[in-house]
């Protein structure tokens, strides 16, 4: 019974992104954070009731990632002191504190529960890929195929379970490495068919979304996995790669046919705009935000401008480029935004939290001992880092909750690997 309840809490948190998805909802994050707060309260009450407090304290004292994340959260709270708009600072901090408590739930259940966290994690990824990609595909099918509307790329029509197309696109790319796990691990025809189907669905959704950053990240994931398979030289690697490439081009053909009924090649036209030059307004806009954030960091290096307050301070640094009442909420780079809002010490703790697992996994994935979980987690963290450089996943439960669970899965797998090495050494 306990195992079932433990699993239920993890599942309830994982599918937070479904909450608040009623039609024409303007704010999808607040209902999700509220829901998350309720689940956190229930989960932590259950955890502290069933697990000795001494065991929990003893565990977290030795957990460097937990300590670094705790330090980051504490510094974030202190930054409220210097915030010009303290109401906004408190509201934003409440959201980050909710994420922290979610991490605690994942961490404690991962450590003290009998749930096979890794197995549950992989299955949740598969289910969520199906749900999210289906939502995007259905949106397009409903508007273009059934209702005969012209395909027009925008963030409102095909956003699936998210606020805009960038968020859902990166969410799908972040989860996509799980397909490589089952592709590698299994030769069962049914399992492989599911893998190819999910690959087709993700590819189709990304072609429909036409989000350049996410699409490039997806291509990098595909290339990395294929190279990994070739290096490992598994018996069926080449065959699986050929079939996967066929599925990818089949997806391209099908989606482009739907999108290009009245136009030229929509996919190629969109991809061809991937370039760094002065003519790309999206890139120019981001560069202005980055410049404003760097100016803010130089002026406020210790505690920043206060959590949630960059949107107000940015006006001073980039007012000439702002029109009417349009003010950017985010830097579109989480690392710069964190440094600008809570200072350099805070960003250092956050960077340790992210890059410590990333660097350790980078060393491990090409080691002599094959561990496919390492590959999946490494690629997922890599995509999250790319997303953090271009967008603001820390402010979106759909991405950040997944990342927090990733860290716990990483630690769980690390302990299993260490135990295995110890056993082997003893022989």
* Residue 411: C-alpha distances to residues 13, 372, 385, 414 (Å): 19, 15, 18, 5
**73 close to 97: Cβ distance less than 8 angstroms:** yes
* Res 287: pLDDT: 85
* Res 179: pLDDT: 95
The pTM score is 0.90
Closest Cα partner for 72 from 364, 397, 350? 350
Helix intervals (H) in 15-116: 29-50, 53-61, 64-78, 86-112
* Res 319: pLDDT: 64
User: Structural domain boundaries of the chain?
Assistant: 2-274+343-420
Closest Cα partner for 20 from 34, 32, 36, 37? 32
**What's the pLDDT tens digit per position in 329-338?**
889 999 999 9
Cα separation, 176 vs 383, in Å, equals 10
Q: What is the pLDDT along the chain (427 residues), one digit of tens a residue?
A: 788 999 999 999 999 988 865 545 556 788 899 999 999 999 999 999 989 999 999 999 999 999 999 999 999 999 999 999 999 999 999 999 999 999 999 999 999 988 999 999 999 999 999 999 998 888 887 776 666 676 666 545 677 777 778 889 999 999 999 999 999 888 899 999 999 999 999 999 999 888 888 999 999 999 998 888 877 766 567 888 899 999 999 999 888 887 765 454 555 555 555 555 545 567 778 888 898 899 999 999 999 999 999 988 887 776 666 655 567 788 999 999 999 999 999 999 999 999 999 999 988 887 766 678 999 999 999 999 999 999 999 999 989 999 999 999 999 887 766 543 433 433 2
Angle at 375 between CA 369 and CA 378, to 5 degrees: 125
Cα separation, 40 vs 94, in Å, equals 13
* Res 233: pLDDT: 66
Both ends of the chain: CA-CA distance in Å?
A: 37
Burial 151-186 (b: 16+ CB within 10 A, else e): beeeeebbbbbbbbbbbbbbbbbbbbbbbbbbbbee
Phi, psi of 274 (to 5 degrees): -75, 95
* Res 17: pLDDT: 87
């Amino acid at each position: 019974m306990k195992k079932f309840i433990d699993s239920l809490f993890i599942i309830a948190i994982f599918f937070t992104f479904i909450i608040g998805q009623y039609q024409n909802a303007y704010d999808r994050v607040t209902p999700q954070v509220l829901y998350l707060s309720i689940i956190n309260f229930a989960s932590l009450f259950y955890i502290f009731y069933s697990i000795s407090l001494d065991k929990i304290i003893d565990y977290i004292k030795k957990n460097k990632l937990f300590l670094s994340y705790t330090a980051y959260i504490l510094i974030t709270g202190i930054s409220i002191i210097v915030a010009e708009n303290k109401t906004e600072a408190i509201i934003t901090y409440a959201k980050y504190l909710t994420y922290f408590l979610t991490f605690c739930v994942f961490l404690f259940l991962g450590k003290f529960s009998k749930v096979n966290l890794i197995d549950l994690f992989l299955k949740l990824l598969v289910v969520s890929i199906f749900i999210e990609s289906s939502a995007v595909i259905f949106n397009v099918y409903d508007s273009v195929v059934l209702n005969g509307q012209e395909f027009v790329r925008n963030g409102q029509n095909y956003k699936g379970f998210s606020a805009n197309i960038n968020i859902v696109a990166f969410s799908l790319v972040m989860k996509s490495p799980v397909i490589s796990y089952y592709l590698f691990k299994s030769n069962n025809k049914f399992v492989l068919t599911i893998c190819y189907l999910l690959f087709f669905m993700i590819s189709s959704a990304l072609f429909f979304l036409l989000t350049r950053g996410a699409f490039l990240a997806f291509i990098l994931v595909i290339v990395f996995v294929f190279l990994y398979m070739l290096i490992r030289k598994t018996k069926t690697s080449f065959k699986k790669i050929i079939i996967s490439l066929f599925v990818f081009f089949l997806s391209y053909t099908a989606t482009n046919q739907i999108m290009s009924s009245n136009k030229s090649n929509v996919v190629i036209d969109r991809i061809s705009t991937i370039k760094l030059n002065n003519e790309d307004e999206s890139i120019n806009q981001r560069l202005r935000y980055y410049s404003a954030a760097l100016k803010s960091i130089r002026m406020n290096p210790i505690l920043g401008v206060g959590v949630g307050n960059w949107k107000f301070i940015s006006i001073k640094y980039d007012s000439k480029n702002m029109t009417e009442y349009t003010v950017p909420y985010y830097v579109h780079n989480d690392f710069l935004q964190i440094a600008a809002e809570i200072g350099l010490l805070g960003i250092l703790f956050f960077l340790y939290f992210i890059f410590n697992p990333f660097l350790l996994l980078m060393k491990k994935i090409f080691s002599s001992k094959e561990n496919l979980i390492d590959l999946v987690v490494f690629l997922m963290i890599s995509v999250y880092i790319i997303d953090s450089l271009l967008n603001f996943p820390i402010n979106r439960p759909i991405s950040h909750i997944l990342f927090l669970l990733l860290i716990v899965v990483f630690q769980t797998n690390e302990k299993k690997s260490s135990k295995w090495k110890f056993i082997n050494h003893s022989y």
